[in-house]
Amino acid sequence: MERERVKDMEADQLSGYEKMVRHYQSWSDRMKTGKLLIRGDERDYQVSRQGFLKYYLNPLDTDTAISSWAVFEQLIKRQSGRHKHQGGVIIYVLEGEGYTETNGEVLEWQSGDLLLLPIQPGGCNHQHWNKDESKGCRWVAFRDLLVARYIANAIDQV
């Protein structure tokens, strides 16, 4: 019996099932071959409505071995923008001191502290301030994106 190789179908000709199989295969390949070390000096701060952000992991980067987390560093010179999103965010303060207003409560923090933004109905309305503009403050935030999909996450600028 002789076998003949059949050319793979083009992406636009694939059934939904075949697209899903390829998606999961791509995801699996990424876990096996993606970057295991993300160097801070290889990532740049980006200016946004929230201030200066340096992304180590985010859903738009496709070169890392993990795709289900967002990890970013934030530099706050004066204050962040006020925004609302579902909580479930862990923030570790690297340096400086400041405070966060979340849903009317003020939480003061300093280097070495861990700030938790709660998961709650309607999301978490918050803003962050630096106490000493001459020094600035920095933290790194961690967010589990697998959970975010199931807690009705959206980001709204307030």
Could you read off the pLDDT of 81-118 as tens digits, one per residue?
888 888 889 999 999 999 999 988 999 999 999 999 98
Would you say the pTM of this structure is higher than 0.85?
no
Integer Cα distance of 14 and 10 in angstroms: 7
Give me the residues of the chain with pLDDT under 50, please.
Answer: none
